[in-house]
Chains A and B, each alone.
Chain A
Amino acid sequence: MQMTTLRQDFLFLALFAIAVLTMPIWLDPLGANYPDLLQKFAIYGIFAIGFNILFGLTGYLSFGHAAFLGVGSYAAVWAFKLFSMNVVPALLLAMIVAGLFSAAIGYICLRRAGIYFSILTLAFAQMSYNLAYSVLTPITNGETGLQLSLQDARILDRTFGIDATGGIPFPNFFGLTMGGYGGFYFCAVLLIVCFFIALRIDRSPFGMMLRAIKSNQNRMAYTGFNTRPYAMTAFIISGMYAGLAGALLAATDPLAGAERMQWTASGEVVLMTILGGAGTLVGPIVGAGVIKYFENIFSAYNEGRLHAIFSFLPDGLENFFVTVTTPFVGEGWHLTLGIAFMLVVIFLPGGLMEGVRRIRSLFSRRKSKPEQAELAPAE
């Protein structure tokens, strides 16, 4: 295993922070520089980091993580309705509720491993989805989704005399409104904090335990460790990350709908993690970015836009290229994503991060030799 010093970690973190905070600049040429998508990058980045703590480290493949995202969103919108339009109570409540919810589900599901665990989590998530969609409509407002309204209680806001005048107020962080670029920088800072926590977990003895669960649970049990509390902790942490992401979704766009919990949403985070590279720190965030980019940018291309792109070509060739590319953009964006995913899984089983690693090793082949000498002898 690669050992890193604390200083290297901080350097890594600093680079990561710069990359995240300058997203509006370097994403501009890609057409992705607008607040909503930037917010989605940061929020789904948090979701994917959290998922990776469970899946990447312990190897437990949860197919129901969207349930925690949805629960977080509902909790956050209720906090906006009942307490305050400030995001702090909403984020806290969402993380607590998602944590409790994941403790309950984890307590049952973690009794099984492998495919049985995946199916159990999937079943619970689908159950939550159906409950939210119809049975629990008084709490979730069903299909329409839970929304803010002018008549909301907002107890804290009212007591402090911050009252809504003219229209429904927007969630804010002590005055910084959560829409637009303000919302993005707020989410970005939380992403960096979450990344730092994940980094510390990854490097800690606790992280080592989680990896041990992944490599061989029986062997770990024979050495005298009870594995379940470790897996359970990872599951809850990961659930709280999802809850935080859900709360941020609700904060930047105050509406919580049931389809956030659907199995396709759970599958999406699995895709993000595998596409980027399960078990790596940055991979899941990259994967989340790629998928959200496809979903928002590729789906918006229509024939008119394609004609504009290929207009530099002669007429016949232009029409040919437009015909060839049309099935892959607009309503066909799923197809493009599917092909990209297959290519990554086939040629880069370790995700996009493996690609980065391979390229890096090409440039530093000479340096790689002494590494073998560093292998420590077994005790």
Chain B
Amino acid sequence: MKLFNVNRRRFLRGSVAAGAGLALPTIFTSASRAQGYCNEPTGSSVVLGFNVPQTGPYADEGADELRALQLAAKHLNGEGDGGMLNTFTGSQLQGNGILGKKVEYVTGDTQTKSDAARASARRMIEKDGALMITGGSSSGVAVAVQSLCQEAGVIFMAGLTHSNDTTGKDKRRNGFRHFFNAYMSGQALGPVLAESYGNDRRAYHLTADYTWGWTQEESIKATTEQLGWETVETVRTPLGAGDFSQYITPVVNSGADVLILNHYGKDMVNSLTQAVQFGLREREANGKDFQIVVPLFSELMAQGAGEAIKGIYGTANWDWKLENDGTQAFTKSFGQEYGQPPSQAAHTCYVQALLYANAVETAGTFNPEGVVEALEDLEFDGLGNGPTLYRGADHQCFKPVLVVQGKEEPQDKFDLLEVVREVPTEQVTYDPSIFGGELGDVNGQC
């Protein structure tokens, strides 16, 4: 059998096809490189990417973040009542878009998976021409998308991410975080725990077995041991365990009198509910009342845990019941739009969007180099947390941290947490070098 039956006509036809095929790639290379920086907006509008979990374990947080971001886009374009635009001190925003360009947005689903989140962010950058990516409700995703944005040459404004790594060992020059972190939680919560529960407690940790859980456990352990507490044992639980009874039973006979749950999301809802059902809180150990502590709280998790959260201490980034102008303005316009108060995830995303827009106005350009410069060491107020500093050394925001407690008599399902104390900024500030990592240079090129 003969493989190819070549005559002149067939040969010519084949070579033309091959030539066309080889030349094809060149038509894509010319246009995209001509810009000064990645996705430079040329029309009358600018595209922002809202990358939030719409499916998976943090879909509730994601839905709330998306609501807040859509509201932010409205306010930036001068629609609605303006929300925190009116209370943001030192703001350059005029409610006419950003640099006069109308704010448009694209949305995507992170699925709370790094791969899906990065694919979604890359679509926004490559196809839709997004200049900034924001949102997200998990530290793993935040770190992954942050490094993608660094490579892709756009700005990343992190959503809800609490791990020390986001602005610690995995920090990037193009990424910024407004939310607080595990270290700050520990610093803020420690003194309150000492006041309420005394200085000679014996703590038992149940920790979600992944990066965030470990940094959380480490931070809380360090602060409580400084207070004089003794750590009986730290036990790692698999993520999404569902049933925690096998981990809670040993707590009873361990000689511990405080249980610290380093869990988040559905894990926290399950472990806390089960610990309460096991009657831990009615017990006495070492002659003291047994206590449970959940270092990171959120309203959505509190709703899930229901009765179980009453009287339990934790920390939060922000709460809609705070009495300052920014909070009230934001809660009011969010409530008018959606008929419910915003969660802290919604708040942090809204603020991040405004801060980005303001930085662009200050810099007078969308070029990441200018934007980063405008955001670094920026001091601002009126966005709900009081005076805040965006530290240039690690792109972390420094502001008061809230210690919250589950309310004994909640009015409705949005009134579950009570702010016990606003821990001042100085108490939660730390030296950026303790977590290592390098910011690197700004990248504005695709």
Within 8 A of A (CB), among B86-109: 106-109
Within 8 A of A (CB), among B45-60: 54-55, 59
A134 and B107: CB pair below 8 A? Answer: no
Per-residue CB proximity of B1-27 to A under 8 Å, as 1/0? 101110000000000010001001100
Q: Is A55 located at the chain interface by the 8 A CB criterion?
A: no
Q: Is B165 located at the chain interface by the 8 A CB criterion?
A: yes
Stretch at the interface among A197-205, A218-226, A328-336, A365-373: A328-336
On chain B, the residues within 8 Å of A179 by CB distance are: 151
Given contacts A25-B24, A142-B210, A147-B143, 20 further A-B contacts (CB under 8 A): A7-B3, A33-B127, A34-B126, A35-B126, A130-B238, A134-B236, A142-B211, A143-B239, A147-B170, A168-B150, A181-B29, A253-B122, A253-B148, A255-B144, A257-B144, A260-B115, A262-B113, A330-B109, A331-B109, A333-B109
Stretch at the interface among B185-193, B302-310, B412-420, B436-444: B436-444
Cα A334 to Cα B55 in complex, Å, equals 9
A6 and B119: CB pair below 8 A? Answer: no
On chain A, the residues within 8 Å of B143 by CB distance are: 144-145, 147
Cα A147 to Cα B106 in complex, Å, equals 27
Interface residues of B (CB under 8 A from A): 1, 3-5, 17, 21, 24-25, 28-29, 32, 54-55, 59, 63, 106-109, 113-116, 118-120, 122-123, 126-127, 139-140, 143-144, 147-148, 150-151, 163, 165, 170, 209-212, 236, 238-239, 438, 440-441, 443, 446
From A142, A145, A331, give the contact of B55 (CB < 8 A).
Answer: A331
A143 and B109: CB pair below 8 A? Answer: no
Least Cβ–Cβ distance between A282 and chain B, in angstroms = 19
Stretch at the interface among A101-109, A228-236, A294-302: A294-302
Closest to B107 in A: A302
A34 and B127: CB pair below 8 A? Answer: yes
B119 and A143: CB pair below 8 A? Answer: no
Q: Is A18 located at the chain interface by the 8 A CB criterion?
A: yes
A147 and B147: CB pair below 8 A? Answer: yes
Cα A142 to Cα B163 in complex, Å, equals 13
Within 8 A of B (CB), among A57-86: none
On chain A, the residues within 8 Å of B118 by CB distance are: 253, 255
Least Cβ–Cβ distance between B138 and chain A, in angstroms = 8
A170 and B151: CB pair below 8 A? Answer: yes
Q: What 9 pairs between A and B have smallest CB-CB spacing? A: A331-B54, A257-B114, A36-B122, A143-B210, A34-B127, A143-B140, A134-B209, A34-B126, A259-B113
B119 and A296: CB pair below 8 A? Answer: yes
A295 and B139: CB pair below 8 A? Answer: no
On chain B, the residues within 8 Å of A137 by CB distance are: 211
Cα A296 to Cα B122 in complex, Å, equals 10
A21 and B21: CB pair below 8 A? Answer: yes
From B1, B17, B107, B443, give the contact of A6 (CB < 8 A).
Answer: B1
B438 and A150: CB pair below 8 A? Answer: yes
Least Cβ–Cβ distance between A128 and chain B, in angstroms = 14
On chain B, the residues within 8 Å of A37 by CB distance are: 119, 123, 127
Closest to A31 in B: B127
Cα A334 to Cα B111 in complex, Å, equals 11
Cα A37 to Cα B140 in complex, Å, equals 22
Least Cβ–Cβ distance between A151 and chain B, in angstroms = 8
A134 and B210: CB pair below 8 A? Answer: yes
On chain A, the residues within 8 Å of B4 by CB distance are: 7, 10
Cα A145 to Cα B142 in complex, Å, equals 11
A181 and B25: CB pair below 8 A? Answer: yes
On chain A, the residues within 8 Å of B239 by CB distance are: 133-134, 143
- 20 A-B residue pairs with CB within 8 Å: A21-B21, A21-B24, A33-B127, A134-B210, A144-B114, A144-B144, A144-B165, A144-B170, A145-B140, A147-B143, A149-B438, A180-B32, A255-B114, A255-B147, A259-B114, A296-B120, A299-B54, A300-B108, A300-B123, A330-B107
On chain B, the residues within 8 Å of A2 by CB distance are: none
B123 and A36: CB pair below 8 A? Answer: yes
Number of A interface residues in the complex (CB < 8 A): 53
From B106, B139, B144, B210, give the contact of A300 (CB < 8 A).
Answer: B106
On chain B, the residues within 8 Å of A7 by CB distance are: 1, 3-5
On chain A, the residues within 8 Å of B210 by CB distance are: 133-134, 142-143
Cα A295 to Cα B147 in complex, Å, equals 22
Cα A149 to Cα B438 in complex, Å, equals 9
Q: Is A185 located at the chain interface by the 8 A CB criterion?
A: yes
On chain B, the residues within 8 Å of A145 by CB distance are: 114, 140, 143-144
On chain A, the residues within 8 Å of B113 by CB distance are: 257, 259, 262
| Contact flag A299-B25 (CB < 8 Å), given A7-B4, A167-B443, A170-B151 | no
Within 8 A of B (CB), among A22-54: 22, 24-25, 31, 33-37, 40
| Contact flag A6-B120 (CB < 8 Å), given A181-B28, A257-B115, A331-B54 | no
Cα A140 to Cα B221 in complex, Å, equals 25
Residue from B107, B118, B120, B443 with most neighbouring chain A CB atoms (10 Å): B107
On chain A, the residues within 8 Å of B212 by CB distance are: 143
On chain A, the residues within 8 Å of B123 by CB distance are: 34, 36-37, 296, 300
Within 8 A of B (CB), among A261-294: 262
Residue from B5, B28, B123 with most neighbouring chain A CB atoms (10 Å): B123
Cα A262 to Cα B17 in complex, Å, equals 43
Cα A3 to Cα B123 in complex, Å, equals 43
On chain A, the residues within 8 Å of B115 by CB distance are: 249, 257, 259-260
From B5, B126, B140, B238, give the contact of A144 (CB < 8 A).
Answer: B140
Cα A257 to Cα B17 in complex, Å, equals 41
Cα A168 to Cα B32 in complex, Å, equals 22
On chain B, the residues within 8 Å of A36 by CB distance are: 119, 122-123, 126
Q: Is A216 located at the chain interface by the 8 A CB criterion?
A: no
Least Cβ–Cβ distance between A69 and chain B, in angstroms = 10
On chain B, the residues within 8 Å of A260 by CB distance are: 115
Within 8 A of B (CB), among A118-162: 130, 133-134, 137, 141-145, 147, 149-150
Per-residue CB proximity of A92-105 to B under 8 Å, as 1/0? 00000000000000
Q: Is A316 located at the chain interface by the 8 A CB criterion?
A: no
